[in-house]
Each structure stands twice: as C-alpha cells, then as structure tokens.
Structure 1
C-alpha cells in the first residue's frame, strides 16, 4: 500500500461499501436450471435455491473449510462441480455422496491437509479430477474406485515422483496426467511401471519441474500421445542427458524448450538436442528463449517428424535437411536472419514462417503438396513475385504475404496457382499493378482477397472481374482516382463482403455496385461520405450489414430511409456529425424507432448546434422540438452549470468530505475502545529517516518504552486508509504526535490526518496533540487548517541540532507522552 504522506499524490475519494459477512449472496442462474454460478459469494453452505436439475455448479471462491457427507443436497444431475479456492482443509468420507454422478471435480487452490480414504470413491462416474495447488506430496490418494477417470491434473503441488498408484492399471480410459510445476527431480525406471502396464494413449505433462536426472530406458517401449517437458530441466546439461535418457520413447507430440528467459543461462553447446535422435516422435514443439552465440543444430534429429514448431530459436537456414515425411513446419520469432531453401520437402503441406527479421527465399518451389503458406510480418522484399517463388505448387489454397515491406508483381505473378482460394497481402507495399488487373486472370478459384493499405491507386480501367469466384474483397486504405470507383467492381457478381474503408471517398454513384447483387456486407467507414443515395439501388437488396461510421453524414432524407434494403439488419452510423435539430426530427425519430438496426447505437451521437455539444442520439428529447424546446435548453445549461459547480466544490473540499465521514464513523464507534499504542505519529514519508532513527529509537528503546503507531509499520494491510487512521491511529492511541516540517505542510495526506485528529480530539473534549517542529514553517503553517492557530495557543517542542537541547527535548517529549490527562 502507498505510504500516506507521499508528496504530490492525492488519492481519489474512497467509496466505502458495507458487506454483511457470512450470509453470502444468491447464486446466478447462467443457463435455464442447468448452470449456476455461486462464484465469490462468501457462502458457507450450498443454497437451497439451487434446483436438483443443475448440471454445472461453479462454487469457487467461497468458504467451505470442511467437506462433510451432508454438505451437498441431492443433486443427481450434477456433472461439473467447481470448488476452486474454497479454503477446503478437510474432506470427509463420502463427502460427495449426494453428487455421485459428477464427471468433473475441480479442487484447485485449496489448502487440503486431510483427505479421508473413501472421500472420493463415491464418484464412480468421475472423468476429470483437478487437484492443482492443493499441497499434494504424492499421488497416493485413495481413489481406486474412479475407474472411469480420464484426466488427472495435479500441477503446482509438491509431488516428487511420477509413479502412479498400482490400482490405476485398471483405468482403461485414462489419457491425461498433468504434473507440471511439482518437485520432480529424478525419474527412475520403476516410476513408470504402472504407466507401462496401462499401455494407453496418454498425455504426460512434466513442464516446469526441476528435473536433474532421468534413468536411461525409463520410457523405453512406452507410447505417449504427448510428452511436455518444457522448462523441466535445471540446466542445459540436465536437458542434454535427459533427452538421451528418453531413448526408446515413442511419442506422438514432444514439447521441449523453455518458457521464459533466464539471463544467467546461455546455450553452450549447439548439439545439446542430440538426444532427440534416440526418440521416436511425430510432432515436435521447440520453444527456446535462452540466448545462443551461435546457430543451434536443430534439425538433424528431426528428419522423421511430420510436424515441427520452432519459436525463438537460433536458426540461420533451412536447407539440405533430409526430412522424410515433414508435412507442417512452423517458425516464429527466429533470432537469426533466415535462408529458406526447402524445395526438397516434397511432402510439405503447411508452411508458416512469421516474425522473422529478415527472410530470404531461395528455394521455395516444386512442393506439389503444399497447400498453406504464411510468410507474414517478415520484412520481405520480393522482386518478380510471385510465380518465381511458388512455382511447382499447384495445390496452394492459402497464401499470406501481409505486413511485409514491398512486393514487385511480375507480368503473370500467379500463374500456376490456379487452386488459390485465399490471398492476403494487406499492409504491404505493392508495386507493378497491371493496368487492368490481368494478373488476377489465373485466380478463378480465389474467394478471399485482401490488398488493403498496399499503397495502391485504382484507375477506371481496372477491374476485379477476372476473379469469378471472389466472395470477400478488402481494398481499405487505398485510393480511387477520379470516378474509378464506378468501374472497379463491375461484373464481380459473386462478391458477398466488400471492405473499402479509409479510402477518402466523398461520394458514390449508384453504378459503383450495380453488379453486386449478392453483396451482404459493405464497409465504408472512415471516408468522407455525406449522402447514402446509392444504398437504394435495387441490386443491393441482399445487403444485411452497412458500415458507414466515421463519415460526414449529418442527416439521411426520408425517401432514402424508406427504400433501404429490406434485409438490412445492421447499420453502423457511429461517429458521424449528425445534427440534432428540429429540421431533422424525422431522421432522429427513425433512428430511435429502429434501434434494432444499430448494434453500435451508443456510439451514434448528434450535434446540437445551439449548444455546440454532442449527446447520444437516442437520448435526444424529440418532444422539445414541439413543446418545450426553450425550457429544455435552459434546463440543460443549468444542469451543466450545477454539475460543474458541484464538481469544483467536491474537488476543492474532497478532504473535508472525506474526514467528515471518518469523524461520523468514529463518533458511532465505542468510546470504551482500549488503546493499543501510547502515541500515533503523523509525519511525511520524506521525514521517515528522522522518525525511525531519532523518534522511534529514543522513545521505543527508552525506559520505560513508549509504543508508537506508525502507518508504514502498524496499519493493517488490505484495510481502508481512513479506517486505519481512525481505528489503529487515533482511537487506538492515547496521544498524537505531529512531526511538522516543510514536507508535512506540502503533503495533502499529512494535512488530512492532522485535521481528522484535531477534529476528533475536539469532539472527545481533550487536547492530546503534541507538536514537534523539525524546521521553521511559520508562514507555510497557514496552509494546514488549524495548525497556525494551534501553534499560537499551545506549547510545542522544537528540534535542534544541539545535543544539550536535544537531551532536554527528549525528556519533555517523553513526559508529555507518558502523562495521562
């Protein structure tokens, strides 16, 4: 918590909410009578309002220290029970007897100290058991009757071994064992005895464990669906030898590497992944954040993989690696410039190389099975794109070259790419656009095209008509020369979604969309449109969404409103300068009466010219145009003025309002409260060194010791500041010591504490304030309400650097504190 007297910081007005503890609150019905949420309701019992038909019950963050047999009412249909962080310490036998049909039980974050032997065994249908962060020391929990169990999640505990209880051999459907973030440091051959007998398609998660040693052969001849050992080794040496010890393992997906950067660790061996050559895996996920001074030898042990994902590794080139069956390759945030030469990967189907800086394409061709290519965000400079780089790839259906630097299109850039369905080149500078867009001629199967913000200028001679299958087109952020908009979209009869936002368009002729009879979504936001005449064209009858937000539309005439497409269900007029006046009352009333059309109705504001202000259009008082327009304007002005005055006064006197509340609260408190401290010290945090070194040292360590209340030390954490001031400081102390300095006078919180203390003691009829002057503040003391007057009418102590005077100072101060009024 921030120190109270920190200079220059004025805390906002605090809102106090009285909560009745223990009684809890009603639960919320999420879905019919099948899903209820009681999350964080301060409940100590299961409310009777929950019906027996409930299937999902979220009871997390409540107070259930003990689970007894009859805690749950009969809920025979309950399938999912979430008891996350309910402070459960004890689970009795048959605690879940009345909810025995539960299939998912979540006990995350409970400080469980005892689990009775038969506490879980009534859950015969349980499939998913979550015991994350409950202090488990081992997996020897008696749940032998849970033969339907499929997932056991026991991460973030204190388990030291992966050994499963022998009875789990009978769990035929078991498939997930999550032991992440435990204390597993050694894995021995006998630890996998049960796992070996289960012979299941199991996912084993050991990430974030401090593994130091793995016995060779521990997973030999075992098949796992997935093994996650990411950030699971204490060092790279342990990882190197650990991978070698996994010799003979058969795994579908292997996840290795590190989640976070450890600046104290650097990769010192380029071949530390050699152990992968001894493991049979289909998919590999390698995420390595540690720094390496040289290129890591990654691929030589991955030649049999079908899918490889690499993130933040040190690879300079992909070339001459004899992958035998690689189908998918993902690379992200590689830390070296990358040379991509993969023409030999004839089985490759999906290639994703993103966030590289930079990428050099040298051998990306003759990949007949390649279907998906994502080379976005790589600062690519492509010359003579794109057939030169993607030749011999007739099956590519998705090509993403977005967010790159510049692409020079060749004469026939997409020849041989007849199967292309999705082409994304957004936010990339396109050069060499053919005058008539003839380079699209071969893309007859293209359905999605995004060339937005590509620095393109469209001429009237250009057309997208070659794209006979196009459904989605995004050309936002480009320019249309002259009346080019009237011709560019001619004969694109299959188009369903058109995005031409932020193109500087001022008006649109009806001919622009005359061929788009199937158009359903039209985005025209961030342009300069003033009228929507084109929307009434008969060929736009299929339009369901029209976005004309952030344009220059101030009104729409009635004849256009009456002829909008009948299927229109979403009209966005947000952030337009709509004029709210009686001359446009028909338009305003139409919007108010058709709010179902506006998904962003709260963003539709209108300008009231006479007031030079904006309001939400749906809040405009239409009756005022006929009856009380003048009165409405006067009242609005008065209301604004009143709010300004109230706001100014509230801001100026916020501290007085605050401590007025504190005094009222304190006045209602018991006057018989016993004092815990001899004195409460009010001081600036900038004077803390003097308070700790001089005041505390001399008073608390003197004879007799004087017990001081210091906010930095004695205030209760999590409690409101003003509550601490009145409860711990003022009401809990016999005297109040005020350390006055320049810092004190300048501190808003110090002034606040002094004024509260002064007012409180006046109400109590005594004067227990002891003033200590650290430095001369005669003139500045007037800033603090009552301080200047108090100094004139009462004796105070003044600190000096003279040892003799200081000795007298401590005698007088100790006497003042000890003396009882």
Structure 2
C-alpha cells in the first residue's frame, strides 16, 4: 500500500511539473511571423501567442497526448508541423482541422496506438507524411483523403507486408514510399498490385529489412525511379535469390550493398551478385563489405548500366567488362593497388578514382567521349605525364590530379589534350623537366590550379597560350626575383588570381598589365609592404583584394584615393599597422570604410608592440588633431605598462600560483625516492598513441619501464598543478614530452613542460626527452617557452610508422630512459 502511495505521489508530482513547465516557456522566433521552434521545452499545449501567419512550427520533444481538434489553435497558414516524440498515443478524428493547410506533417517517434478513421480527413493539401518509429504493423492507414500525398515515410516500424491501400493508386503525385528498417521478409505478387497500378516514377526504400523471399514476377512491369535495398537481405543466398526474382523490373537508380559502418564478411561464392543480371537498371550505387580470396565478379551484371558508383569495396582487381552504355564510373576506397587500365568503352564520359591509398597508374586509352577525369587523392607518382597516360582520349575537358605524391611533366605534357578546360594539380609535387611553353596548346583552359606544388616560377615559364584562362591558383609556390613582371602578361582573360603564401615582398607596377578583367586578387601571407600596384589602370575591375598577413604598416594617400571603384572586399587584417599621428589619413580611412573592409576588428595597431591588441578602428584621432602628444604618450605608456603586467600575470598565472609548491618541495625532493622512471607530458588528443604505442612498448616489455600518466597515476582530490609537480616531475627520474599540434594548443601541456624545465634547471640536470609525434611549424613551436631553444640544443626523437625507423625509435628511447636507472 505504501509503495502504491509513493508511486501515485511521484506521478502527481511529474504531472504538476509538466503543467508548470508547459506554461512557463515561450517558443523561439526563427523568422518573425513565419518560422517558430518550440522544440524540447516540455510544453503541454500549442502556445496561443503564436501568430496566425506562422508557416513552420517545430514542436518536437514536448507532451501532446491525446491529439484532438482542441489541441491546435487556428493556424490557417501553417504548412510544416513537426511533432516528433511528443508522447502521442491517440489521434482523434478531425484532429488537424485548424491546421488543414499543412503540406508536411512529422509524427516520428510517437507510440501511437490509435489512429481515428478520420484523423487525417482535413489535410487535403498534405504532401509529406512522416510516421517513422510509431509502432505501425501495417500500411492500412486512413489516408484516403490525402489525394495530394507525394511522400509516405514509415521506416523503423514493425510492418511485415508492403501492401498499400488500393486508393493510393489514384494519388497522382505519389512518388516515395520509405519502408526502411521494418520486418518485411516476404514479398508476393499481390503485395505489389498498387505499386504496379501507379505506373509512374516511384522511389521505393526497402533498406534494412530482413528480406528472405521475393515471389518471381512480383515486380514484373514495374518501373521505379529509385530502389534502395542496402542491407536488406537476411543472407547472401537470400540476396541472390531475391535479386533473381526481380525479373521484369526496371530501375533508374539502384542502391545496393551495405552501409559503411557494417563489418566486412568473407563470402564463399564470388558470384553472389549475379542476380543483378535479372532486371534492368541505369545507375547503381554500391557499398561492398564482402570479400573473397580471389577475383570477385562485381561488375559482370552491370554491363548495361549507364553509371556505376562504388562508394567502398574490397575489390582487388577489376577484370575487363564489355560495358555497353556506361557513361560514368566512380571508384571510391577499394583494395585496388592499380588504377584499372580502362579502355575501349566508347560511351564512357566520366571517370573518378579516389582511393585515398597509394596506387599505380599505367594510363587509360581509346575512350573517345571521355570528358571528366578525377584521380585526386591517390598518392600517385607519375613521371612523363600526361599525354602518354591518356592515349585516344581527345575530348577530356576536366583533369584533376591533385593531392597526389609526385608528378613529372615532360616536354609538351598535354599534347593531344587540347580541349582541356579545367586542370588541377594542387598539393601535388610537380617536377618540370621543360619550362618554356609547358601549357602550350591549351587554348580552351579556363581553370588552372597549381597551388602548393613546390614549383619555382621563372621568367622562362610562361602561360603564353592560355588566352582564355579565367582562374589561376599558384599559392604556396616560389617566384624568382622579378618573375611577376613578365609571367602573367598573356593572361588577358584572367578573373581570379591567387598567389598567396609565395614569399613575395614586392610587386612591380607592370606585373598585372593587360589584366583588365581581373576581379579577385589573393595575396595573403606574403611579405608585401606597399600596395602601389593597385593604382594600375588595368585593375579597375577588381572587386576583392586579399592582402592579409603581410608586412603592411600603412597605405599611401595616393593609393587610397585611386583604389578600383568596384572594390567591395579589401582584407587588411593581421598586418602590422602603424597607428601613429603621422598616418592619421590612413587610420581615418580605415575607420570610415569598415563596411568595405573584411574583418576590420582584426586590423590591429602594431606600432608600439608586436603583441598589441589595439584595433585601428579604436585609435584616438582627436588626440592627433589637437596635438596632445604628451597626453597621448603618457596614456600609451600607461597602457603598455598595464598590458605588460597583465600579460605577465596572465601568461605566468600557473607559475605564480604554484611556485610555492615548487620551492617548498625542493629541499625534500633530494631525499625523495622516485616512484616512476618517466613522467609523460602529452595532450589528451594524443592519448590513443600514448596508450597503444608508448605504454605498450615501454611498460609491457623487458625490462619494464614505469611511466607516470596523468589520467592513471595522479592522486584523486589533489589539485592538478600539485599532482604535476609532486607526482609527475618530482616523482620521476625523467620527463618525456610528446610534441604535437594538440600539445602546442594545450595550456596544461605548456605549463607541465615549463615546470619541468624550471625543476631540472634547479636540479642542474636536464632529464627531458622530446618526442616529435607530428611536424609543427616553427612559428607555432615558439608558443611554448623554451621548447624551440631546447630542440635546437638537445637531441630529440621523431616518431615514424616506418618499421625500421620505429624499431630504432624504441631502442633509442629505452636507452635514454634507463641510462641512469
């Protein structure tokens, strides 16, 4: 009896809380008078404060049970209503009368036990109905009045048969039936009668159903726009039999295979996809998780496809298949070590191979209609590129060889590829064996990306034939002195030019001569100090200029007055701007043109200190106008003092806070016996490497080396800093520092390293071992006090996955740790 009373009190309290919260919080306005969100606010009613003009309402994750015609206020303009997971059990007749103009209704995640026979009667304009995960066991729903219905999504339910109500065949716009993740195991001819009567382009989604048997002829004379059957079979034998039973079906796009996260499995029959030969399809999207010891017959039944996309597969080789209609072939990550030698497919227009792993490429040939080739990201090493690799392919318009390893361009590398329009080599190291006229003959080329290719441009390398080039990207390369004066002279159609991060310190007035169509100029991360070239008459069409992260201290009044009139984006951020009274015209121009400048808040004054954070827009112009130099000087000196003191306090806050711990423990530390062989300083983002590599090779080998790891060995209840000093640094003979980008960005990692340095300086014993886990820019390395100097003066270890280098790494590391053990 007492238990029942407690349960009743708990239930009553919960109801009171729900009622209270339901009245307490309003909805969020997304677009005034149109779109509102009340999601997750524990409401028990639709707020009456919603305007009658509301068009979209997200009311998900609230409490609305039951649903009847009193729930909704009059919202005649409401089109989209989301009632996901609102604990709805009961939907009464004419529930949606006050929102009868809905086009989309979402009821996902509600445990509905009763649908009134007329519950949807008012929704004559409904186009999309989502009933995912509502406990349905049948498709026999009261939908007869939804004559404009286009999409019915009933995935993740318990439906066993895909038999649609007969009246749906009269729905002229019905095009999508989503039945994913139901319990459909058998499909018979009488289950697809309505589907056959619809007689137009339908998308049918049967993915993740336990299909065991399809009656032959069940899909005869049915035409589907899309058929999704990923992971839709209880076994490979069932898959083969079900596919064979699809005889008579025609599909435009077929989605088959598994999902990427599914574990791979070994098959005993390499012909498990032969059922695909039983029906017709144009495009196939395939994710393969099956593998076989020898060659698999993946493509044998795809000979009539117009497009094949293998998103992922365990294909070791690709046998010759006489494709009859294939226009597009996409091969994602596979086990292929060689890009297939594809030839004699007269219909092929597009080829994409993105394996992300090292591959070899011997070329392709005899593909007269091939227009698009994307071999990016395959770690290719090609010498003598490129015409020798593309024989009999005169119609290639798009060629992407970016993000590979090394490519050597020989004499006339694009001979016979004169229709090229897009050429991309970015982030691929290029070797140029013949400089002059290397792009000769490419008169149709309009996009060229050779950024970050380690190329040194000289005056002998010209773009003489690229008269139609509109986009040129050369960022991250090198220019010999005065190269720009002549390099770009022929590019009269250029609209976009990117020469960022090229170490350019000066640009001549004639460098952009003839570029009257240039609109976007990227010069970021160079060493420019002056921008006089911007007054070049040929640059009048410029709309955006990016000169951020250069060495610009000021811009002369002449340049400011003669900037291109169409300029709408000007990026001066991250330059050492001179904020002084001598540059008052420049500073005033910055203040007056903030809408025109990109990131004006990042235009910082660097006059007084490289670390100054005074924005140029905040500079006191009046002080210069009234010649209050003394006052300005005093104020600036005071600001510098305050800034420096604040910087010191902020920078060394941990040191000041815990220096007492360090000093108090110094005397007793000489008598303290070390508990660990080494204290490991590392970022939590590198924990996987530390546990799987460092701990495994040091603690679990002979002789074992005891490491101190913060997440495992620090004493609970003690402050982090005290643990670092007492347990880690003072309690260990050595300190191992794992340097990575995450280490550089971590405040605690920097603190630990600086404390270790301080302690070993006091001990007069530099027992710090540095491990470089990944390369870090020298500039970023200097963020950690003493690290850059330590690396210059001391030998460090660098991690490599190469087996031989890895073995030497562990030998040297163990020797360094146990040297004085």
Q: Does 1:242 align with 2:246?
A: no
Partners in 2 of 1:125 and 1:293 — Cα distance? 55
Query: Which segment drifts farther, 277-286 or 160-169?
Result: 160-169
- Which residue does 1:207 correspond to in 2? 207
Residues 32-67 of structure 1, C-alpha deviation per residue, up to 9 Å, x if partnerless? 543334444444333344333333333333333332
Query: Which segment drifts farther, 140-149 or 626-635?
Result: 626-635
Q: Does 1:106 align with 2:106?
A: yes
Partners in 2 of 1:621 and 1:110 — Cα distance? 62
For the Cα contact (< 8 Å) 1:261–1:290, is it kept in 2? Answer: no
Partners in 2 of 1:125 and 1:744 — Cα distance? 63
Partners in 2 of 1:352 and 1:84 — Cα distance? 40
For the Cα contact (< 8 Å) 2:185–2:210, is it kept in 1? Answer: yes
Partners in 2 of 1:387 and 1:324 — Cα distance? 26
Partners in 2 of 1:571 and 1:496 — Cα distance? 16
1:86, distance to aligned residue in structure 2 (A): 3.0
Partners in 2 of 1:413 and 1:91 — Cα distance? 70
The alignment's C-alpha RMSD in Å is 3.1
- Which residue does 1:230 correspond to in 2? 230
For the Cα contact (< 8 Å) 2:358–2:378, is it kept in 1? Answer: yes
TM-score normalised by structure 2 residue count: 0.73
Partners in 1 of 2:108 and 2:617 — Cα distance? 47
For the Cα contact (< 8 Å) 2:291–2:315, is it kept in 1? Answer: no
Query: Which segment drifts farther, 79-88 or 200-209?
Result: 79-88
- Which residue does 1:776 correspond to in 2? none
Distance 1:35 1:456, change over 3 A: same
Q: Does 1:634 align with 2:633?
A: no
1:344, distance to aligned residue in structure 2 (A): 1.1
Distance 1:84 1:606, change over 3 A: farther
Number of aligned residue pairs: give it: 644
Q: Name stretches of at least 5 consecutive residues in structure 1 with no aligned partner.
A: 1-18, 654-741, 749-821
For the Cα contact (< 8 Å) 1:68–1:95, is it kept in 2? Answer: yes
For the Cα contact (< 8 Å) 1:548–1:572, is it kept in 2? Answer: yes
For the Cα contact (< 8 Å) 1:316–1:339, is it kept in 2? Answer: no
1:327, distance to aligned residue in structure 2 (A): 0.8
Partners in 2 of 1:577 and 1:111 — Cα distance? 63
Distance 1:393 1:119, change over 3 A: same
Partners in 2 of 1:575 and 1:444 — Cα distance? 39
For the Cα contact (< 8 Å) 1:318–1:338, is it kept in 2? Answer: no
The alignment partner of 2:129 has SS state of strand
1:744, distance to aligned residue in structure 2 (A): 7.0
For the Cα contact (< 8 Å) 1:88–1:110, is it kept in 2? Answer: yes
For the Cα contact (< 8 Å) 2:383–2:409, is it kept in 1? Answer: yes
1:358, distance to aligned residue in structure 2 (A): 4.3
Distance 1:132 1:636, change over 3 A: farther
Distance 1:49 1:618, change over 3 A: farther
Distance 1:532 1:433, change over 3 A: farther
For the Cα contact (< 8 Å) 1:270–1:297, is it kept in 2? Answer: yes
The alignment partner of 2:340 has SS state of strand
1:216, distance to aligned residue in structure 2 (A): 3.2
Q: Does 1:193 align with 2:193?
A: yes
- Which residue does 1:280 correspond to in 2? 280
Partners in 2 of 1:744 and 1:413 — Cα distance? 66
1:127, distance to aligned residue in structure 2 (A): 1.0
Partners in 1 of 2:296 and 2:316 — Cα distance? 9
The alignment partner of 2:550 has SS state of coil
For the Cα contact (< 8 Å) 1:461–1:487, is it kept in 2? Answer: no
Query: Which segment drifts farther, 36-45 or 93-102?
Result: 36-45
Residues 501-541 of structure 1, C-alpha deviation per residue, up to 9 Å, x if partnerless? 11111111111111211100000111111111111211111
The alignment partner of 1:613 has SS state of coil
Distance 1:147 1:444, change over 3 A: same
Distance 1:232 1:579, change over 3 A: farther
For the Cα contact (< 8 Å) 1:319–1:342, is it kept in 2? Answer: no
- Which residue does 1:661 correspond to in 2? none
The alignment partner of 1:595 has SS state of coil
Partners in 2 of 1:267 and 1:615 — Cα distance? 67
1:495, distance to aligned residue in structure 2 (A): 0.3
For the Cα contact (< 8 Å) 2:547–2:572, is it kept in 1? Answer: yes
Residues 700-750 of structure 1, C-alpha deviation per residue, up to 9 Å, x if partnerless? xxxxxxxxxxxxxxxxxxxxxxxxxxxxxxxxxxxxxxxxxx9676489xx
Larger Rg: 1
- Which residue does 1:812 correspond to in 2? none
The alignment partner of 2:595 has SS state of helix
Partners in 2 of 1:62 and 1:602 — Cα distance? 42
Partners in 2 of 1:580 and 1:235 — Cα distance? 73
Partners in 2 of 1:631 and 1:310 — Cα distance? 67
Q: Does 1:323 align with 2:327?
A: no
Partners in 1 of 2:528 and 2:172 — Cα distance? 66
- Which residue does 1:558 correspond to in 2? 557
Partners in 1 of 2:423 and 2:96 — Cα distance? 55
For the Cα contact (< 8 Å) 1:386–1:409, is it kept in 2? Answer: yes
The alignment partner of 1:415 has SS state of coil
Query: Which segment drifts farther, 29-38 or 124-133?
Result: 29-38
Q: Name stretches of at least 5 consecutive residues in structure 2 with no aligned partner.
A: 1-18, 658-713, 721-821
- Which residue does 1:313 correspond to in 2? 313
Residues 742-788 of structure 1, C-alpha deviation per residue, up to 9 Å, x if partnerless? 9676489xxxxxxxxxxxxxxxxxxxxxxxxxxxxxxxxxxxxxxxx
The alignment partner of 2:136 has SS state of coil
The alignment partner of 1:518 has SS state of coil
For the Cα contact (< 8 Å) 1:316–1:338, is it kept in 2? Answer: no
- Which residue does 1:217 correspond to in 2? 217
Distance 1:26 1:556, change over 3 A: farther
- Which residue does 2:612 correspond to in 1? 613
Query: Which segment drifts farther, 624-633 or 573-582?
Result: 624-633
Distance 1:585 1:289, change over 3 A: farther
- Which residue does 2:496 correspond to in 1? 497
Distance 1:385 1:745, change over 3 A: closer
Residues 393-432 of structure 1, C-alpha deviation per residue, up to 9 Å, x if partnerless? 2322211111122222232222222322111111222223
For the Cα contact (< 8 Å) 1:24–1:44, is it kept in 2? Answer: no
Partners in 2 of 1:329 and 1:646 — Cα distance? 57
Residues 298-326 of structure 1, C-alpha deviation per residue, up to 9 Å, x if partnerless? 11111111111112223344453111111
